[in-house]
Structure 1
Amino acid sequence: MHSANPVRYVAFIFWVLSLLAGCGPKTIAWTEDVQLQSGEIIQTRRTALAEPFGQIGGTGGWENEGMTVEIMAPAHPENPGPWSAKFVPLVFDRDPETKEWFMVATFYSCTSWYNLGRPKLPYTEFRYRNSQWVQQALSEKLIGREANMLTSIRSSGEPNHTISSKQLIKRNPKIEPEYKGIVAKWRTAC
Structure 2
Amino acid sequence: MIGASSMKIAVATIALVPVLRQTLLCTLVLATVGCSRMSESWKEEVRLSDDRLIEVERTAKGRITRDIAMRATGWIPEETTIRIPQLDGYAKPPVWRSGLIPVVMDYDRASSTWSVVATYMFCSTWYDMGRPASPYVQYDSVGGEAWRVVPLQPGWVGRRANLQTYIRPTGVPPRLREVDKEMDWRQSAEQFQFVSTTWKTNC
Greater per-residue helix proportion? 2
1:57 matched to 2:69: yes
Work out the CA distance in 1 between the residues paired with 2:47 and 2:90. 19
Q: Please, which of 139, 145, 150 is the counterpart of residue 136 of structure 1?
A: 150
CA RMSD of the aligned region, Å?
A: 2.4
Shift of 1:186: 1.4
Q: What's the TM-score once normalised by structure 1's chain length?
A: 0.79
Shift of 1:89: 0.8
Of structures 1 and 2, the larger Rg is shown by 2
**What is the match of residue 146 of structure 1?**
160
Shift of 1:66: 0.5
Deviations 1:100-145 (A, max 9, x none): 1010001111111122232333110100136211112311221111
**What is the match of residue 165 of structure 1?**
180
Q: Contact 2:74 / 2:168 at 8 angstroms: preserved in 1?
A: no
Structure 1 segments unaligned to the other structure (5+ residues): 1-15
Greater CA drift, 124-133 or 145-154:
124-133
Shift of 1:169: 1.3
Work out the CA distance in 1 between the residues paired with 2:129 and 2:41. 26
Tell me the secondary structure at the aligned position of residue 132 of structure 1. coil
Instruction: Pick closer, same or farther for the CA change 1:119–1:34 going to 2, 3 Å.
Output: same
**What is the match of residue 83 of structure 2?**
70
Structure 2 segments unaligned to the other structure (5+ residues): 1-27
**What is the match of residue 90 of structure 1?**
103
Q: What's the TM-score once normalised by structure 2's chain length?
A: 0.75
Shift of 1:164: 0.9
**What is the match of residue 11 of structure 1?**
none
Q: Contact 1:92 / 1:102 at 8 angstroms: preserved in 2?
A: yes
The count of corresponding residues between Structure 1 and Structure 2 is 170
Tell me the secondary structure at the aligned position of residue 141 of structure 1. helix
Shift of 1:98: 2.2
**What is the match of residue 180 of structure 1?**
193
* Residue type of the alignment partner of 1:110: C
**What is the match of residue 5 of structure 1?**
none
